[in-house]
Structure 1
Amino acid sequence: MKRMERRLSSRNGTPPCPPRSRPVWTVVLAILIAFSHPSFGFADETAVVPSRVLSFVEALHAKGYYDTAIDYLDRVDAEHNFDTELRAALFLERANLLRDLARTQILPGDYEPTQKLAREAYRKFITVFPSHEKYPEAVSEIAQLRQQEIRAILLKYRRAAGGARESLANTFRETAKAMRQESSEAETQLKERMEKFPKFIDKEESPDLFEKRRRTETGLVNLQLQAAILLFDEAEIASAEERKRLTNQALTSFENLVANYRSNLVGMYAQLYVGRCQLRLQKATAAQGIFREMMLIRAEDPQVQSLIDEAHLGLLQSLAEQGLDKKSGEGKLKDLIQDADRWLKDNPKLERTKTGQGVRWEIAKAWEKLAEQHTQAEDLREENYERALAIAHPLSQQLGEFQLPAASMATQLAKKLGRDLTASKDFTAAFFECMNRVKELETLADGIEQAETPDERRQLLADMELKRPSAILQMQQALSLVRPDTPADDIARVRYWLSYLYFLSGRDYESIVIGEYIGRQFADSAEFKTLALEASFMAVLAYAHAYQT
């Protein structure tokens, strides 16, 4: 216990925050329910106060209760007739709920149908209320949902081969055609609106009119951005010559948007794609300049921060392109790895995002390139392969864009290293393999504590970092083989070590969940009291670190 406490306490943290009182929003929701739903005593049996209905739905939306809000909308829509203004607001709110619900869903089989429902809801809104002031926002959302549909097709296209690949290319073209038709209709409508506004509107004298024109102009510009992105994506399924032509055409469109709207979000998106176009055209140095410029932007909201993160990932990708050079490639790849490692270390939450997966994929590819193109010594080459495998294998177990390429890389690297990545067939075999991994890690931990020189300690820490991901994966595989007759104490030991490794890897929330579970499971067990205490202690430290970050 003391030994574990000493190691865990090396990550400084503050005590967890005390339990908070019941959030105010729960009281607000309770009041809104009482006053908005006809079955409660405070409301008239024959009427629903419109503002309360909308406020209630918006409160559910703000707290992430998307399904509940949609069910509530279905119920009140069937029972009551609302005025035009409220109907429009509820139509739009339903579409927004479906859009945000899709963002929370992980599997394509879940989010793709929800995205389609959201798109249909926005389409219904602009059809029923073509003159509504939020028409521009709705058509922008439709274009973005179409863009996500296009991206999903592209992802499948990258994974496919032969006839399936050509079929997906045709699906892409059909979807792109529909998207262009929808955008053309919306653009015509928005241009007609723009022509009705005065050429000059004083913001102070006519704030409402100024805001309406701003919304309309923003909708038009968003459509232009989506049209340019569609060109960029379409280039991926084209022949080499056509790809270059389409990429240059998209580049011109993005550069025009940057010139006109550099200071707003559309201009920032366009600037990001200017860098991506330059990278695709094999102009890595030009792309780096654009990405570095974007990284200097001060993020004032999550959307801007997301763009800055994408630019940072683009910078890593441009360094990877330069890593192919025989003279300077080794230095570029090492710069990539150092920058990416520092970025992930400073932003532990990033690792669980799509961008974080992209960063880890670039690190894995960089280690592989170092081994194959810039390493002569056999032992160093194997070490670089080992580092690439330590990243690629866990990445291959995670859903997302990089799952299949990471799985392919992991298989090839395992063959080069003489490894067998096949999972154990039963829990007992997997359990003993886990315990062997634990012994290896304990030996390294002892060596780190007893290291006599900084260089020796750094090397041991690097070895620990190298072995930790594969140990985590081994324990996850063992837990997937649990059966009803599997000994509970063996399961708890694997979970305990998994919680410990999660903590050391900066994955505090996973560590908390497992640590608390073990602590509660064996709280009254005399035999496993020490294990329960250590797991609970680890959860407390993880709480403290999560609270700090």
Structure 2
Amino acid sequence: MYVLFDRVSSSSRVLLICAAIAIVLASPSLGVAGPPYMEFIEGLRARGYYDITLDYLNQIDEDKSVPQDVKVLIPFERATTLVQSARTKRDYQSQLRELDLASAQLDQFLKASPKHPRAAEANTERARIGIGKAQALLLEAKSPSKEAIAGDLRQQARKFILESRKQLTEAKDRYEQIWKQFGVSLSADEREKRAARDQAETQFMSAQLDLAQTTYLEAQTYEEGSKTRNDLLKKAAEEYEAITERYRTMIAGLYAKLWRAKCFEERAVRPEEGKRLPGNIANESRDNLRRAEALYRELLENEVSQSATAQQIQDTARMFYLIVRNHPLNADHAIVVQEASDWLATRRGAAATSQTALGVRWQRAIAYEQLANDPDLNPNQATINLRNALKDAEFLVAYPGEYRDIARSMVQRIKAAMGRGSEDPADFDEAYGLATGLVQQIDPLQAEVNKAKGDKKKEAKTRLDAHLEETSRILKLSLKLADESVAPAQLDRTRYLLSYVYFLMGRTYDAAVLGEYVAQHPLSDKTKSDLPADAGYVALMAFITALNEVPKGQDDSFEMDQTARVATMIVTDYPLTQKADDARMNLGILYNRRDEPRKAAEWFEKVAKSSERYAEAQLAAGQAYWNAYLQALPGQDGELTDDLRDELKKSAQKYLERGIAESEKAIPANNAAPDNLIAGKLSLVQILNSEGNNRKAVDVLTKDPHSVIRAIAVKDESKRPKSGVKSQAFAALTFRQLLRAQIGLQEIDAAINTMKQLEQTGGEGNTEVFVELGRQIKEEIERLPEGEQRQNVLKTFDQFLGKLADMKQGQSFSSLLWIAETYFGLAEAVDGQTREKYFDRSADAYTSIIEKINQPKFAPDGSAPGIQLRLAAVQRARGNYEAAYNYALEVLRANPKALNAQTEAAQILQAWGENGSPDKFKLALMGDSSSGAEVWGWGQIAQRLQRLIEAGRDTPAIIDSYLQARYTIAEITRESAKEQSGDAGKEDLSRARQQLLIFAAVTPREMISDEWWGRYDQLYQDIQRDIAGNVVGFQPEPLAAPEKYEPEVVTTAKPVTPPAVVPTAPTVAPPPTSTNWLLVGVGVLIAVGVTVGFVVMAGSGGGRKHRRYTSAPPLKSRQKAEPASGSGKKTRSASASSSATATKKRTVKRRPKPPEAPSK
């Protein structure tokens, strides 16, 4: 029996083999009738289970039931396994031992079966054994302990290489001939021939690579810098280049590119210590390094396959690239430290001790040592670098292989260099003094990082990281050396400094725990020092950082609870300190970001009047109360009674006015105002306009000091920033509010000028700002209760629009569109004859646009279809369905795939069916092709949108349209049931219910907004009532909160609602893949059955899986509030602050102030 490894007991080996069988046979490629001996062996080797492979070969060697044609190959398979195993060994002794065993197994195979079809492969494998032995000998020759016999070892290696080259040359010629015999093309039916050809080509590629490798290895057998070595490296590079050109995109090509770069790298001469190379040699060496670096970068930057081999090539390229950067002619040691550290940080467990990872760590150790030798370096920094180099070298010594001996030499060298002068302090005073000096150097080093760019920034970051590491070490040493003679205040400060350094290092929880400990258990009198409060603030910043770092979608309640707890502790225990006010501000910002504006306001308003942040806090409180008011409007999530809403609005106005007044006291009139002041003014204007105080609103916007209009001004409208008060969104909101106030004052000339500014802000031909303004005016009216105020506002808008419409000159596309949209919105907000009058005026304005649409430069290109669709919407709203349908059909004849036109046509048919023509329901669902235009209907619209989502085009607009389509299908089915009696109606109701259940099962929950979820849930309940007269009760689950962002300034108002878009070009949707469009994703679920009533759907359902989503939870019985507009879309008044600062920012407003180091 062949025995190689006896590392585990017999029973353990059996268990391991059984487990391996389970893993390997799980592969779908092993679907064979009999025992797949060879496939199983290959599978084990592919997974690196070499010990288990050898044990399995021993088992089948003794098994009499194994076929003879399998048994005869066992020695060959052992040899192959041993060769592959040897490549994974770190030390040359193990490599040579396994290669010798492999050679013996090949001899046994060839002696027993010299004419076996795989005998040629065995000879090739013998050549590879020779290469392996040569590599092991060359590795041994590099060891410092083998320096005396290095020449002999290289000579032995050369002998193996030359013997292997002869065998590999014969193998290459043989495999090339076999490969060429198959010809260029084989039919798809000739599967066996194609497989054989592919195998021959693979063997041919491998032989070429092996031959090139013998040239490279032969170069390694000569002294570095010798002509023979350089000539061989040049020849090897040419051989690798030929392989790269032939197999550029294949693994063989990538491998050849890697080693071609290595040849260039090794041709670069290394100068002796303290000497320079002659000019021509230096230039040639630099050229070779540049070539090598370029090839390594190609491998690192290009996309490669996810195979283990391709990833290993890329990892090896990373290590070789660091060698190039460390070369004395480059000396980019700081870059090496940074990039090696970044790469090693991603390697954990076994990956951190792979041969490549050890090589990267060795390059970092070299870089640290070289950085320490810089004569211009601060002595403390040089010591830090030496310690880091020592740390890496000692790590490498623990692992046998290429780096153990050279790392051991580095350890001895560094320890000797450090000597007695660099020993650690021996008492607290010395350690504390050193630590405080290191702390004082942090800010200058951080400033260097902030100032530097590109590679210089990496170098600066490396210096800072190393400095922080050493500073934390000395601070811990100080605490270790402390005894009863050390003053309590010094111990508190040492712990505080350590918590601060931990915070800068990113060790957030360490910083939080230590900082809070000092704040809660100070050894000194906390009434006589701010240090405990400062330490508590470090803990607060650390928990806020931890909160910010929680991945999106994961539970952050622990971090939030800890943040609130520590903030409360600071405010309670240290209420009169500046850190208490900072804690109040930060907690307010956090609650604001978490969409809890009333809690945020409560924290903001607690900031003391004596605080330097009082004005900022008053503005923030005003914004928070305004945000809470917006949430409390009818139809919003936080709807409240009228009295409570009024209180929120009054509080918002009070704090905004106070914050504005306090801010303007502190800011000279000629100085630029901060963003939060301008944002506060704009929010105040919204409140004033809502109260009818239009004159004061205009004054706040236009009058100095710190005019909002002046603050938003830019020289070039096309170059507005994406965020801040000069952004397009904030400027547009400002002009809309100014226009609203001027309308209230009936200042028509000023309003027309503002409209022109608004149009310029939106960009040439941009009409969305006017559509948005019309929509907001509609919402404002809908929020007003019936009565005199509502009538006065309607009268104001009507008079202004009438005057504007009657103007004979100055009418632009945008102004007419605004008139049309505003009248349309007003019509939807009122009833009776007034409604008809407003619809007429809206239609007149749209008609005027159509009449002028072909005039040069009147309207943006492609506007006509969108205007026709708006006319269709007007006629639909008025109940003129035939006229509306004709408008939609006209658009579809020219643009048959316009998704917005298809949606409008389906909506018209649906409304038509709901108002006396139930036969239109079928057309609304199934489509209509009877009028010369192809109307898809809701069913085909839903399928096309689903295809867009599955193709990755899952924009919010597409998802919303898809949800509307699926909802409407069930809604129409229910409405159709009402028009029928008996079993037909019941069948339609059951079908509608089934559609909703299937939708809930196959649609990812996170794809469905809370608003849509509530609407679907309510429709489901309505259908249940229609069927059974009651609703099955259950306990609803809480809905997920929508994603929020942190504004850059301290403000809490809501973002601008995306405007309705007047289409300027058709939106094209892809065609369906089958005619069975109404039942897409339904058949599988119907087959397995869906229970009646509310079903807990914990699985993913049987439908097609969507990308990046998980399955939906069951429908809830909670009905979401309808929006105030009644339009089916959730809306919210625009606010100033979020438009000004629509920038995602998860960091806290301030980091802890750097501590001042005390004297000893």
Q: Is the 8 A contact 2:90 2:355 kept in 1?
A: no
Q: Is the 8 A contact 1:390 1:466 kept in 2?
A: no
Letter in 1 for 2:54: I
Mapping for residues 11-90 of structure 1, pairs under 5 Å: 26=19, 51=35, 66-67=50-51, 70-71=54-55, 73-74=57-58, 76-77=60-61, 80=64, 83=67, 85-87=69-71, 89-90=73-74
Deviation, 1:181, is 3.1
The percent identity for this pair of structures is: 23
Equivalent residue number for residue 242 of structure 1: 228
Q: Is the 8 A contact 2:141 2:153 kept in 1?
A: yes
Deviation, 1:460, is 9.5
Letter in 2 for 1:307: I
Q: Is the 8 A contact 1:387 1:466 kept in 2?
A: no
Letter in 2 for 1:360: R
**Paired positions, count:** 413
Structure 1 counterpart of 2:237, from 251, 259, 266: 251
Equivalent residue number for residue 157 of structure 2: 172
Worse-matched range after superposition: 53-62 or 336-345: 53-62
Deviation, 1:93, is 3.5
Equivalent residue number for residue 267 of structure 1: 253
Q: Is the 8 A contact 2:127 2:163 kept in 1?
A: no
Structure 2 counterpart of 1:315, from 306, 313, 321: 321
* Structure possessing the higher relative contact order (Cα contacts under 8 Å, 6 or more residues apart): 1
Is 1:118 paired with 2:102? Answer: yes
Shift in CA distance, 28/176, structure 1 to aligned 2, threshold 3 Å: closer
Equivalent residue number for residue 167 of structure 2: 182
Q: Is the 8 A contact 1:95 1:121 kept in 2?
A: yes
Letter in 1 for 2:325: L
Alpha-carbon separation, structure 2, partners of 1:397 and 1:388? 15
Deviation, 1:301, is 0.7
Is 1:199 paired with 2:200? Answer: no
Alignment partner of 1:200: what SS?
coil
Shift in CA distance, 262/55, structure 1 to aligned 2, threshold 3 Å: closer
Q: Is the 8 A contact 1:232 1:246 kept in 2?
A: yes
Equivalent residue number for residue 411 of structure 1: 412
Equivalent residue number for residue 159 of structure 1: 143
Shift in CA distance, 69/148, structure 1 to aligned 2, threshold 3 Å: closer
Mapping for residues 290-369 of structure 1, pairs under 5 Å: 290-295=295-300, 296-321=302-327, 323-324=328-329, 329=331, 332-349=332-349, 350-369=351-370
Deviation, 1:236, is 2.1
Letter in 2 for 1:365: I
Q: Is the 8 A contact 1:201 1:210 kept in 2?
A: no
Whichever structure has more helix as a proportion of its residues is 1
Worse-matched range after superposition: 283-292 or 236-245: 236-245
Tell me the alpha carbon deviations over residues 336-358 of structure 1, each in whole angstroms, 9 at most, x when there is no partner. 21111111112335421111111
Tell me the alpha carbon deviations over residues 469-488 of structure 1, each in whole angstroms, 9 at most, x when there is no partner. 9xxxxxxxxxxxxxxxxxxx
Letter in 1 for 2:294: G
Tell me the alpha carbon deviations over residues 468-517 of structure 1, each in whole angstroms, 9 at most, x when there is no partner. 99xxxxxxxxxxxxxxxxxxxxxxxxxxxxxxxxxx999xxxxxxxxxxx
Q: Is the 8 A contact 1:297 1:308 kept in 2?
A: no
Alignment partner of 1:51: what SS?
coil
Query: Unpaired runs of 5+ in structure 2?
Result: 1-14, 26-32, 269-287, 448-460, 474-504, 508-553, 555-1160
Deviation, 1:71, is 4.7
Equivalent residue number for residue 545 of structure 1: none
Structure 1 counterpart of 2:79, from 85, 95, 105: 95
Deviation, 1:70, is 3.5
Alpha-carbon separation, structure 1, partners of 2:68 and 2:61? 13
Tell me the alpha carbon deviations over residues 60-99 of structure 1, each in whole angstroms, 9 at most, x when there is no partner. 7678765565355445435638655423554443334434
Letter in 2 for 1:287: A
Mapping for residues 372-521 of structure 1, pairs under 5 Å: 372-373=373-374, 375-418=376-419, 462=466, 465=469
Deviation, 1:397, is 2.8
Alpha-carbon separation, structure 1, partners of 2:326 and 2:464? 27
Q: Is the 8 A contact 1:154 1:172 kept in 2?
A: yes
Mapping for residues 524-543 of structure 1, pairs under 5 Å: none
Tell me the alpha carbon deviations over residues 173-207 of structure 1, each in whole angstroms, 9 at most, x when there is no partner. 22112212332343354345346x24233141322
Tell me the alpha carbon deviations over residues 393-440 of structure 1, each in whole angstroms, 9 at most, x when there is no partner. 22223212111111111211111111699xxxxxxxxxxx9xx9xxx9
Worse-matched range after superposition: 57-66 or 340-349: 57-66
Shift in CA distance, 401/64, structure 1 to aligned 2, threshold 3 Å: closer
Q: Is the 8 A contact 1:340 1:363 kept in 2?
A: yes
Alpha-carbon separation, structure 2, partners of 1:461 and 1:411? 25
So what's the TM-score if we normalise by structure 2?
Answer: 0.32
Shift in CA distance, 137/346, structure 1 to aligned 2, threshold 3 Å: farther
Shift in CA distance, 52/225, structure 1 to aligned 2, threshold 3 Å: closer
Deviation, 1:382, is 2.7
Deviation, 1:141, is 4.6
Deviation, 1:263, is 1.3
Alpha-carbon separation, structure 1, partners of 2:20 and 2:141? 49
Alpha-carbon separation, structure 1, partners of 2:398 and 2:336? 24
Alpha-carbon separation, structure 2, partners of 1:70 and 1:27? 12
Alignment partner of 2:35: what SS?
helix
Alignment partner of 2:402: what SS?
coil
Deviation, 1:467, is 9.5
Deviation, 1:108, is 4.2
Shift in CA distance, 390/180, structure 1 to aligned 2, threshold 3 Å: same
So what's the TM-score if we normalise by structure 1?
Answer: 0.63
Q: Is the 8 A contact 1:140 1:219 kept in 2?
A: no
Alpha-carbon separation, structure 2, partners of 1:144 and 1:180? 9
Shift in CA distance, 419/168, structure 1 to aligned 2, threshold 3 Å: farther
Alpha-carbon separation, structure 1, partners of 2:506 and 2:111? 51
Worse-matched range after superposition: 64-73 or 90-99: 64-73
Equivalent residue number for residue 490 of structure 1: none
Q: Is the 8 A contact 2:179 2:200 kept in 1?
A: yes
Alignment partner of 1:298: what SS?
coil
- Aligned alpha-carbon RMSD (Å): 4.7
Deviation, 1:156, is 1.1
Shift in CA distance, 454/136, structure 1 to aligned 2, threshold 3 Å: farther
Structure 2 counterpart of 1:150, from 134, 137, 158: 134
Deviation, 1:287, is 0.9
Deviation, 1:101, is 4.7
Tell me the alpha carbon deviations over residues 149-189 of structure 1, each in whole angstroms, 9 at most, x when there is no partner. 22111111112556512221221122112212332343354
Alpha-carbon separation, structure 2, partners of 1:280 and 1:454? 36
Deviation, 1:313, is 1.1
Q: Which has the larger radius of gyration?
A: 2
Letter in 1 for 2:373: E
Shift in CA distance, 124/187, structure 1 to aligned 2, threshold 3 Å: farther
Q: Is the 8 A contact 1:136 1:218 kept in 2?
A: no
Q: Is the 8 A contact 1:194 1:217 kept in 2?
A: yes
Alpha-carbon separation, structure 1, partners of 2:120 and 2:50? 23
Letter in 2 for 1:309: D
Alpha-carbon separation, structure 2, partners of 1:24 and 1:290? 42
Query: Unpaired runs of 5+ in structure 1?
Result: 1-21, 33-48, 422-432, 470-503, 507-547
Alignment partner of 2:160: what SS?
helix
Alpha-carbon separation, structure 1, partners of 2:209 and 2:155? 23
Deviation, 1:377, is 3.6
